[in-house]
Amino acid sequence: MKFSEVVGQQSVKRALIFSKKENRIPHALLFVGPEGCGKLGLAVAFSQYINCENPQEVESCGICPSCLKYQKLVHPDLHFVFPLMKVNENTLVCNEFMKEWREMLNSNIYFTPLQWYSHIGRENKQGTIYAEEAGEIIKKLNLKTFEAEYKCMLIWLPEKMNITAANKLLKILEEPPSKTVFILIAEETEQMLSTLLSRCQLVKIPPIKDSEMHEALSNQYQVSEHDLNNAVLLSEGNIIKAFKLLENNSDNQQFFESFKNAMRLAFSFNVVEIIKWTNEIAGFSKEKQKDFLMYMLKVTRDNFLITEGAENKVVHRPEEAEFSIKFHKYINERNVFTIVKELESAYNHLERNGNPKIVLLDMMLSIALIIKS
Ligand SMILES: [Zn+2]
């Protein structure tokens, strides 16, 4: 992974590169930063840089044998430790999950602990770094360096170490093996042993700057400037949050079209088309069906507010605002409560595993009758 693959963080990158140029690479670094700032990516890019056989001014070369292995995360002197969860008290160590870890990191360098747990099929559990892992770390460090200048041991979320693991790691850091760089990558340090903290050189990673976030997002998403600015503003430097906002955004576009269709069909009471519509929505994933109903609820309430003259309380997108100019008068004090009740009841039925085709058809027929009356 090259530095350029990590969004922004120019001053952190500069300081890291400087430490290599000055030959003052600490044997233990602690990267601390909030979710979605890129600290894991920076740790991998830095490890690649210090082992690059032909490092450039501000970047690793990307083509030497070391870089090629680093790009695929398969370099034999690059080691990872990350939280896992035991099943039936069986010992688990990171080596057993390297395939999943590489898949995760290769597809996206920005992810939350929950996204990692969900990737290994354990979304409802809390991860831990167990004492056995410390034994693994010692084993790996005792191996002779295969081909790199530095062995790099990257520990993602050291705050998840149990106390035995943390104490064992402390012992290793007290007598650090030569030519080994530990990079601990933490979101919060309150739960970490203070003795462990004092062994590491702290590198604070701030949230991503708005201008850098804007540039990165505009390269990845084809969305309007309005939606882009909105995502930058709401994400507060957390790129994972910005991704989610923009992905929901493409759902929102689809939801808006489906809502418009639903209202058109309700007015025309075209049952054949209504059935087609419900089948289409029933084809969404369960979560998306529920998100769509929440969206319908929001738009219904927004239009009622506009009818009541409270448009200043409504936050909507330009195309939604345009649609509401004509539509809002159909949502009024005579029907808003029954429509909302129908939507809420459909939502509850879906949550209790009701058949979506039936639930949505019932809902649509009721809403059509309410709107026409
Ligand atoms: Zn290189």
Instruction: Express each pLDDT in 221-244 by its tens digit.
Output: 888 888 899 899 889 999 999 998
Distance from Cα 68 to the centre of ligand 1, integer Å: 7
Residues 270 and 355 in one domain: yes
**353 Cβ contact list (under 8 Å, min separation 6):** none
The verdict on residue 243 lying in a domain is no
**Residue ending a domain, choose from 178, 206, 234:** 206
In this structure, what token pair is assigned to residue 307? Answer: 């009818």
What's the CA-to-centroid distance between 13 and ligand 1, angstroms?
Answer: 17
Given 191, 206, 221, the domain boundary residue is 206
Distance 48 CA to ligand 1 centre (A): 7
Of 307, 300, 309, 303, the closest CA to residue 338 belongs to 300
Q: Residues 45, 160: one domain?
A: yes
Determine which helix (DSSP H) or strand (DSSP E) holds 237, and give its type and residue range. none
The set of residues, in sequence order, having a beta carbon less than 8 Å from that of 360 and lying 6+ positions away, is: 278, 281, 282, 289, 346
Residue 183 Cα to ligand 1 midpoint, Å, equals 20
Q: Report yes or no on 34 lying in a domain.
A: yes
Cα(150) to centroid of ligand 1, in Å? 13
Domain that holds residue 171: 3-206
Distance, CA of 35 to CA of 207 (rounded, Å): 8
pLDDT at 339: 97
Both 177 and 279 in one domain: the answer is no
Which band of pLDDT confidence, cut at 50, 70 and 90, is reported for residue 146? low
Cα of 27 vs its chain's centroid, Å: 30
pLDDT greater than 80 at residue 90: no
Task: Average the pLDDT over each of 145-154, 203-212, 319-328 and give the range with the smallest value.
Answer: 145-154
Provide the whole-model pTM.
0.72
Q: Distance from the CA of 153 to the center of ligand 1, in angstroms?
A: 19
115 and 260 inside one domain: no
Ligand 1 centroid–CA 102 distance in Å is: 20
Distance of CA 304 from the midpoint of ligand 1 (Å)? 61
Q: Do residue 159 and residue 259 come from a single domain?
A: no
> Average pLDDT, whole number, for the chain?
91
On whether residue 142 sits in a domain, the answer given is yes
pLDDT class of 145 with cuts at 50, 70, 90? low
CA nearest to 153, candidates 67, 61, 58, 30? 30
Establish if 341 belongs to a structural domain: yes
Domain-embedded: residue 227: no
Q: How confident is the model at residue 124 (pLDDT cuts 50, 70, 90)?
A: low
Higher pLDDT, 54 or 144: 54
On the question of pLDDT at 47 being above 70, the answer is: yes
CA of 21 to the centre of ligand 1 (A): 15
- Both 268 and 167 in one domain: the answer is no
In a domain, 367, yes or no: yes
**How far is the centre of ligand 1, averaged over its atoms, from the C-alpha of 140 (Å)?**
23
CA distance 81 to 40: 12
57 within 8 A of 27, measured Cβ to Cβ: no
Same domain, 68 and 197: yes
Crossing angle of helices 356-372 and 286-307, rounded to 10°: 10
Q: CA 104, 105, 111, 117: dihedral to nearest 10 degrees?
A: 40
Give the distance (Å) from ligand 1 centre to CA of residue 169: 30
Is residue 238 one of the residues assigned to a domain?
A: no
Q: Is residue 253 located within the same domain as residue 330? A: yes
CA atoms within 13 A on the CB side of 303: 25
> Is residue 156 located within the same domain as residue 284?
no
| Beta strands at 28-32 and 78-81: parallel, antiparallel or unpaired | unpaired
* Overall domain count for the chain: 2
CATH number for position 265 = 1.20.272
Question: What is the CA(63)–ligand 1 centre distance, in A?
Answer: 5
36 closest CA partner among 185, 207, 155: 207
Within-domain flag for 242: no
Cα of 128 from ligand 1 centre, angstroms: 34
Q: How far is the CA of 78 from the centre of ligand 1 (A)?
A: 14
Q: What are the structure tokens assigned to 36, written together?
A: 């979605």
Residue after which a domain boundary falls, among 172, 191, 206 = 206
Give the pLDDT confidence score for residue 10 in this predicted structure.
95
135 plus 259 within the same structural domain: no
Opening angle at CA 325, ends 324 and 331, nearest 5 = 55
Indicate if 293 and 177 belong to the same structural domain.
no
